[in-house]
Structure 1
Amino acid sequence: MKQTYPHKEKLKSEKLISQLFEEGKSVSAYPLRIVYLKTHFDDGVVFKAGVSVSKRHFKKAVDRNRIKRLLREAYRLQKRAFFNNMTTQYAFMILYIGKEKPTYIEVETKMKQLLQKFIENSSKE
């Protein structure tokens, strides 16, 4: 698995996103939360991921976009270590639920914890 985040791996389907929030399970490592759902993709991708930041806590789009960039970068660099041997297909959304602007180091360490919890919970199912 490459350290990239191509268009095929991005969660774009409105139908799938609404299904994800209705039926999905979640895991948290404050200030991050992941909502995930086991699903099937026709294009052969194992994971589709999206990121989201609350407009309620961050009024300025500049701040929301910066946090989303940090989340995508931390995910991109960590996904190979956690998802390399998985074959089950999942859709998930990574949410930033904190109230302060994070640094990259904070996001990176919490992303590692979050993905580790996700792997542990998904292996129990």
Structure 2
Amino acid sequence: MAIKTYSFNKEEKLKSRKMIETLFRDGKAFSVFPYRVIYMPAKLTTEKYPVQAGFSVSSRKFPRAVDRNRIKRLGRECYRLQKQLLYDALQDTPTQLAVFFIYTDKKIPDLPTLRDKFSVILGRLAKAAKSEK
């Protein structure tokens, strides 16, 4: 299952309402500013990818849709470029993860800052996934 790709395919996106509700109800969470990360081991609809991820931005903090979409796009881009760290950690285990990233800051971030934060987030997720074997 060693996938060396920098894409973020449809199968990698967490879109199932049922799975998202379960994730928010039963999942574990941690924060790495500016993100709140909720995750849980789950049986996903795809066998090809070990992780499905979703992204969210508060409409209360960002009333303009263009701002929300920009932040989600930046988050997805950082995740897409660095997800291999998490995939490598899950490679030799049958564990699959459902992950949701919630942006909590009040200002639009820049890409280098988010890149650093996502490396920390994905490292923590990889460590958590290894400990849940």
User: TM-score, length-normalised on structure 2?
Assistant: 0.88
Q: What is the correspondence of 1:7-86 to structure 2 with a 5 Å cutoff?
A: 7-44=10-47, 45-86=49-90
Give the % identical residues: 39
Report deviation, 1:14.
Answer: 0.3
Structure 1: give runs of 5+ residues left out of the alignment: none
113-122 or 18-27, which deviates more: 113-122
Report deviation, 1:76.
Answer: 0.1
Amino acid at match of 1:48: Q
User: TM-score, length-normalised on structure 1?
Assistant: 0.94
The alignment's C-alpha RMSD in Å is 1.2
Runs of 4+ more than 4 Å apart: none
Structure 2: give runs of 5+ residues left out of the alignment: none
In 1, the alpha carbon distance for the partners of 2:40 and 2:67 equals: 28
1:33 counterpart SS class: strand
Amino acid at match of 2:50: V
Q: What is the correspondence of 1:96-115 to structure 2 with a 5 Å cutoff?
A: 96-115=103-122
